[in-house]
Amino acid sequence: MIVYPAIDIRHGNCVRLFQGDPERETIYGSDPLEVAKKWHEKGASWLHVVDLDGAFSGSPVNYKIVLAIAHNVSVNVQVGGGIRTESDVDMYLSSGVKRIIIGTRAFEDEKWFVETCRKYPGRIVLGLDARDGLVAVRGWRKTTTMNMLDVARWVEDFPIGAIIYTDISRDGTHRGVNVEAIAKLLEVTSHPVIASGGISSLEDIHRLLPLTRNGLDGVIVGRALYDGKLELGSLLEFVERSKGGGDRGR
């Protein structure tokens, strides 16, 4: 299991939102690059970076900060937030970012999404953000009528790198992870799944570990790290011990 520390960027700051609500923001630092270096020093092999301004506006805004992280920190970076054109994709993937996350345009332009996945096999991640099982788009401000499980079936034959599933109702809340929804998702897809939303304790990680046998590839941890409920070094050691050894963070 890979542990992905989350770095959400808004107005140049490292922040966390409660259930994606920009009116309920907590600022955790004014230098996301320094935060990235800290997580790397504590053992992270991947970082999950989100340009929140980009997600809300529909095009990358904090891309210079994202690229600074990719250029200056020896860690794999996956990034999302407002990536909706071919030039956005090319800009990131040609500049050191390992994978990009596409949500909104994947659901609004199937042809473009399929072509992009084929052009960059394994480097496109589907951002599957759901509220009560229904996909949300445009910075989570619009909930569609698309069922998340139907979407997972739809992309089954696409050459994507992973599916990131976020339970919006739990994101940034410390409410605990939605194990049941993740298990259902794993039943309908063979793609690696990365879980996000509500992870707040080692007990949440313990509940998720059995799902690695079914294709759970990793977990994104945000507010719990910033609020001190989880310590990254200890979390990585716990994951390693639980699987009986192996690469740190995997």
**Number of Cβ atoms within 10 Å of the Cβ of 33:** 17
Phi-psi region of 199 (alpha: psi -120 to 50; beta: other; left: phi over 0): beta
Task: Report how far residue 67's alpha carbon sits from residue 33's, in angstroms, rounded to the nearest whole number.
Answer: 10
What backbone phi and psi angles, to 5 degrees, belong to 11?
55, 35
Residues 166, 146: Cα–Cα separation, whole Å: 15
Q: Tokens representing 13? A: 């700051």
pLDDT interval class at 18 (50, 70, 90): confident
Whether 248 shows a pLDDT value over 50: the answer reads: no
- Check: CB of residue 97 under 8 Å from CB of residue 161: no
- Please state, in angstroms and as integers, the Cα–Cα distance from residue 19 to each residue in 50, 54, 130, following that order: 14, 17, 11
Please answer whether residues 144 and 135 qualify as being in contact, where contact means their C-beta atoms are separated by less than 8 angstroms: yes
Catalytically active residues, by annotation: 8, 129
pLDDT band for 171, please (50, 70, 90 cuts). Answer: low
Position 142: which residue type? K
* Sign of the dihedral defined by the CA atoms of residues 177, 135, 89, 153, in that order: positive
Extended beta strands in 119-226, E state? 124-131, 134-137, 142-147, 162-167, 193-196, 216-221
**pLDDT value of position 244:** 56
Q: Crossing angle for the helix pair 110-119 and 86-93, nearest 10 degrees?
A: 20
- Where residue 172 falls among pLDDT bands split at 50, 70, 90? low
What is the reported pLDDT for 20? 66
178-188 pLDDT tens trace: 899 999 999 99
Residues in the chain: 250
Give pLDDT tens digits for 37-69.
Answer: 999 999 999 999 999 999 999 999 999 999 999
CATH class of the structural domain 2-242: alpha beta
Average predicted confidence (pLDDT) for the chain? 91
Q: Is the pLDDT of residue 249 over 50?
A: no
- pLDDT per residue over 196-247, tens digit each? 988 989 999 999 999 999 999 999 999 999 999 999 999 999 999 987 544 4
Residue 170's pLDDT band, with cuts at 50, 70 and 90, is low
Q: Who's near 140: CB < 8 A, 6+ residues apart?
A: 20, 55, 129, 131, 168
CA distance 238 to 247: 12
- Classify strands 162-167 and 193-196 as parallel, antiparallel or unpaired: parallel
User: pTM, whole model, 2 decimals?
Assistant: 0.91
